């Protein structure tokens, strides 16, 4: 077995299989996402990937995240809010921003002339671009095999220790069996699945979404049982309990007896238990001015909202005999009310005037009007 000696000034990365020139560059490389990704692959027993492939994976994931952010769970475009509660920028703000950008550009030029720029360029070269071909001479395949064997030995020893701890502790209980006729939240036993679902709905508040399209109730219950009883995981918040009683106590105390059905990933987890027929969908007509519903109503487009808000005066029209009779009856009732209320109003006015006159004559001291 040949021993490969590392020359002074060369530092290797066992996870990415590259050679780095200085210790500073090596420390900076250890903090990059590419190194962390290859480190996880090395622990899993996989081969490392090059920086170009890693960057393509990152770019693909970013595009997918941006695409999912612009659509809801039904595939419709989501309009982002254009106003964030901040005031509109003024000319003074724009001038201040240009001054700040010019200052940042000057600082970047000075930084490029400093010795630290060479280190940054080398970091970009080794982290985002080329892989030095001298790694075969500096770091042999035998060293890689020995490092991997050591990591596998450490992983195996750790697994054995954890298994021993589990065998000595209280978690030696046998794997429980999921019974679909038993309540997942309290353990109550019932004769059939429908009675069990009715119990969980009435006593624990379990709501099964889109129940009219549910075709595989047993599969949905098996999914709930595997998640709660076997994996001891809460569907709502992801809490993992130590045993069945702990996860049940958590779900009952937090009110997490639910089936998440709000976001697209949550719907995709249980969509295999449902069957949505296209015959049940309602067809609508999309017109330039809006959408015509099956019952004949039309939803107007927002582009014509200024016309919908207009209020025109009523035109002269012919009044039917029945409407004329109703108008006359209302007018007669108003006249009768005015005739009955007029004397009452006059009497109240007289009383008010007499009260005012009495207050005027009620003086504290007598004054002779002749003097």
Query: Cβ(15)–Cβ(40) under 8 Å?
Result: no
Residues shown for the chain? 371
Residue 1 has pLDDT above 70, yes or no: no
Query: What is the pLDDT, as a whole number, of residue 55?
Result: 92
Alpha-helix residue ranges (DSSP H) falling in the chain: 23-30, 33-43, 51-69, 91-113, 116-128, 135-138, 141-168, 193-203, 217-225, 244-254, 264-270, 305-308, 321-361
Alpha-helix residue ranges (DSSP H) falling in 86-188: 91-113, 116-128, 135-138, 141-168
Question: How far apart, in whole angstroms, are the C-alpha atoms of residue 224 and residue 182?
Answer: 12
Among 47-56, 109-118, 143-152, the range scoring the smallest mean pLDDT is 143-152
Q: Could you tell me which residue, 18 or 5, shows the higher pLDDT?
A: 18
Residue 37 has pLDDT above 90, yes or no: yes
Query: What is the pLDDT, as a whole number, of residue 340?
Result: 83
Residue 126 has pLDDT above 50, yes or no: no
Question: How far apart, in whole angstroms, are the C-alpha atoms of residue 62 and residue 68?
Answer: 10
Among 2-16, 88-102, 315-329, the range scoring the smallest mean pLDDT is 2-16
Query: What is the pLDDT, as a whole number, of residue 10?
Result: 78
The b/e string for 57-77 (b: 16+ C-beta within 10 A; e otherwise) is: eeeeeeeeeeeeeeeeeeeee
**Percentage of the chain surpassing pLDDT 90?**
13
SS3 20: strand
Q: What does the mean pLDDT of the chain come to?
A: 76
Query: Cβ(15)–Cβ(48) under 8 Å?
Result: yes
Query: What is the pLDDT, as a whole number, of residue 35?
Result: 94
Query: What is the pLDDT, as a whole number, of residue 279?
Result: 60
Split at pLDDT 50, 70, 90, the class of 16 is very high
Query: What is the pLDDT, as a whole number, of residue 281?
Result: 60
pLDDT tens readout for residues 187-199? 888 888 899 999 9
Q: Could you tell me which residue, 226 or 139, shows the higher pLDDT?
A: 226
Residue 150 has pLDDT above 60, yes or no: no
CA Rg value for the chain? 41
Which of 179, 174, 186 lies closest to 251, judged by CA?
A: 186
- Read off the DSSP letter of residue 213: G
> Whole-model pTM?
0.36
The b/e string for 313-332 (b: 16+ C-beta within 10 A; e otherwise) is: eeeeeeeeeeeeeeeeeeee
Q: Could you tell me which residue, 69 or 132, shows the higher pLDDT?
A: 69
Query: What is the pLDDT, as a whole number, of residue 334?
Result: 80
Query: What is the pLDDT, as a whole number, of residue 131?
Result: 43
Query: What is the pLDDT, as a whole number, of residue 29?
Result: 92
């Amino acid at each position: 077995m040949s021993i490969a000696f590392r020359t002074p000034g060369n530092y290797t990365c066992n996870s990415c299989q590259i050679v780095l020139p200085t210790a500073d560059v090596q420390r900076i490389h250890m903090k990059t996402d590419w190194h962390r990704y290859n480190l996880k692959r090395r622990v899993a027993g996989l081969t490392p990937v090059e920086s170009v492939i890693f960057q393509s994976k990152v770019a693909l994931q970013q595009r997918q995240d941006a695409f999912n952010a612009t659509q809801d769970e039904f595939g419709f475009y989501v309009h982002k809010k254009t106003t964030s509660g901040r005031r509109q920028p003024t000319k003074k703000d724009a001038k201040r921003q240009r001054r700040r950008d010019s200052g940042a550009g000057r600082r970047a030029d000075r930084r490029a002339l400093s010795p630290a720029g060479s280190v940054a360029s080398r970091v970009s070269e080794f982290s985002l671009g080329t892989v030095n071909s001298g790694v075969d001479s500096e770091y042999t395949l035998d060293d890689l095999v020995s490092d991997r064997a050591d990591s596998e030995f450490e992983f195996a020893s750790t697994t054995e220790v954890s298994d021993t701890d589990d065998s000595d502790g209280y978690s030696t209980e046998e794997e429980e069996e999921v019974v679909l006729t038993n309540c997942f939240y309290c353990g109550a036993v019932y004769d059939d699945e429908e009675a069990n679902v009715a119990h969980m709905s009435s006593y624990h508040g379990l709501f099964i979404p889109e129940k009219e399209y549910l075709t595989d109730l047993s599969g949905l219950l098996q999914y709930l049982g595997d998640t709660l009883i076997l994996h001891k995981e809460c569907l709502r918040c992801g809490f993992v309990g130590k045993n069945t009683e702990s996860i049940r106590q958590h779900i009952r105390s937090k009110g997490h007896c639910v089936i998440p059905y709000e976001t697209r990933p949550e719907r995709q987890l249980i969509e295999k238990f449902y069957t949505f027929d296209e015959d049940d969908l309602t067809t609508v007509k999309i017109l330039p001015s809006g959408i015509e519903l099956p019952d004949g109503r039309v939803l107007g487009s927002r582009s014509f909202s200024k016309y919908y808000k207009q209020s025109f005066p009523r035109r002269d029209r012919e009044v039917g005999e029945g409407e004329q009779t109703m108008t006359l009856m209302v007018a007669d009732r108003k006249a009768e009310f005015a005739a009955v209320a007029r004397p009452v109003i006059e009497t109240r006015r007289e009383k008010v005037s007499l009260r005012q006159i009495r207050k005027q004559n009620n003086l504290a001291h007598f004054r002779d009007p002749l003097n």
